[in-house]
Amino acid sequence: MCLSSIQSTNLYAEETTDKPHWKKACQVSGEGNEICQTSYGQYILFNEENLWVSRIGIAVLNDSVMRMFVYGPLGVLLAEGVNTKIDDLPVVSMDYVYCINLYGCQAILEIDNTTVNNLKNGNEIIIEFLKPTGETLTANVSLAGFTKAFNSN
């Protein structure tokens, strides 16, 4: 089962405008594969407009294949992808894979345990999208609660 095709609404994290809220949800597919997602949803304020960065998170298939995903807001340049940065670590670029209705467009990056450990030990992940105007739309996501959610059963 392809991790990029997960669209079941029961896996989406709850959005919040105040405190970071990381949430983990798992399900078993019809093929017997277990898919767990640890994700966070939030709004960001840009030019007095609340834009929903629908989710950022980690999807794990059968405790082995791991991918980081970001659902970007509508109205960003897809060809430019998404840039992410954990604390002072180097910027990592992610390519958009597809767009779905109001959820926006999803960028995916295959990751390993090093990235997961960086998230567990980090303070924040910075996500940057490029608008057609050339302006950068930045979301700073606190990693408080990530480790607890990721390690939960």
What CATH number did the domain enclosing 71 receive? 2.60.40.1880
Q: Can you give the C-alpha Rg of the chain in angstroms?
A: 15
Owning domain of residue 8 = 3-151
- Our count of domains for the chain comes to 1
**Segment 60-63 long-range contacts (CB within 8 Å, at least 24 positions apart):** 60/35, 60/36, 61/1, 61/3, 61/33, 61/34, 61/35, 62/33, 62/34, 63/34
The DSSP secondary-structure symbol of 60 reads E
Give percent of the chain with pLDDT exceeding 70: 77
Give percent of the chain with pLDDT exceeding 90: 56
pLDDT of residue 147: 95
Name the band, by pLDDT with cuts 50, 70 and 90, for residue 7: very low
What pLDDT, in 10s, does the model give residues 115-141?
999 999 999 999 999 999 999 988 888
Name the band, by pLDDT with cuts 50, 70 and 90, for residue 42: low
